Amino acid sequence: MSPQLRQIWKNEYFKTVLGLVLIVLVVLGFFQGLKWVLRTDYPVLAVVSTSMLPTLNVGDLLIVQGTTAKDINAHPGTGDIVIYEPYPISNPDYRIVHRAVKKELRADGYWITDQGDNNSPGGMTFNEKQLIGKVIARVPYVGNLSLLTQSQGSVYLFFMMAVVLVIILLIFWNTGSESETDGKGPKKGRKLFGKLSYGVIYFAVVNVLLLCFIVFNLWGAFTFWQPGASPPQYVTIKGMYMDLQYHTSLGNFNNISEVTLLQGFFTYKIDSLANGAPRSGVLTFSWFQFSIFLLIAFDIWELVSHFRANTSAKTSKLELSQARSPN
């Protein structure tokens, strides 16, 4: 490698830009991989309306699997939640997410009748050619980011935030590449107010934030204006138990008398009795379990790093003392 290329490779700004490009490529590759694995051009979609409350909330990110109409389970309470394109298609970005309640084989193929869990009885009927797939899981909260970017003002806001984030990364990445010592000892060993080290404060702050995230994902709720919803409205993101309570509090066309919480590995599901009949929920990613995993992983990482740093420091001191001792 020539000296010029070696100098460019060692440049911290070049490394930062290269890292961002690699992140974008990984995300794009992951999305293309999802299309192939789930057999659909729309493997992830965000919920934009309240027609499927309380099963699906505005802002939920849906994981969609491509399937055929023949394999769709159609039932008023336990049918698959399907996604299809309405006809005629006036808006290419508009898709409907409802529960399949009836399926009929006609001369031109299967016809499926859908109904929103929060809608009055009597839904629409669509042909199997309009079918995109069925919902196999949902990730709470995340779809709100996609909905926010659908409004013009939000696009500019996210662009400005991305620029600021890149600038911050460039500054801190470049600063972090410098020597960890400044004549006063390692940064992690320096004291704040002469008592607490920065490392201890960093450890405590991250633990408090993760604990707050855990509590929120159990009992928390946060309401905000969502311009990307249809129509634009206030939406609420809810923790697992708040979501459970919300199921029983919602009226309209639900009349839910009983709810059941089923927990799995990093997932949970809320089934219910609506109008006296069973209604199946959707496999849901558990932010609660994920945040506990993050807390444990972070603490173990920091403790192991601290142990290794202390061991390395003691070894260095021992070697230094041995080198200075007379033979």
Residues 66-94 have a mean pLDDT of 88
Instruction: Please enumerate in sequence order all residues whose Cβ is within 8 A of that of 28, keeping only pairs 6 or more positions apart, or say none.
Output: none
Return the higher-pLDDT residue of 111 and 181.
111
Q: Residue written as tokens 């979609």?
A: 45
Can you give the pLDDT at residue 309? 83
Residues 194-217 have a mean pLDDT of 87
Q: Residue written as tokens 């490394």?
A: 15
- Reported as a pLDDT band with limits 50, 70 and 90, residue 94 is confident
> Is the confidence at residue 218, as pLDDT, over 50?
yes
CA distance 211 to 298: 12
The token duo for 88 is 């005629």
> To which H or E segment does residue 3 belong?
helix 3-10
Contact 132, 83 (CB under 8 A): yes
> Is the confidence at residue 178, as pLDDT, over 50?
no
> Is the confidence at residue 114, as pLDDT, over 70?
yes
Which of 94-108, 139-153, 252-266: highest mean pLDDT? 94-108
> Is the confidence at residue 15, as pLDDT, over 80?
no
- How would you class 288 by CB atoms within 10 Å of its CB: exposed for 0-12, middle for 13-18, buried for 19 or more? buried
Can you give the pLDDT at residue 1? 62
What CA–CA distances, in Å, run from 196 to 188, 189, 307, 311?
10, 9, 18, 21
Can you give the pLDDT at residue 186? 46
Can you give the pLDDT at residue 91? 64
> Is the confidence at residue 311, as pLDDT, over 50?
yes
The token duo for 175 is 């600063």
> Is the confidence at residue 179, as pLDDT, over 50?
no
Mean pLDDT of the chain: 84
**Percent of the chain at pLDDT exceeding 90:** 57
User: Global pTM?
Assistant: 0.82
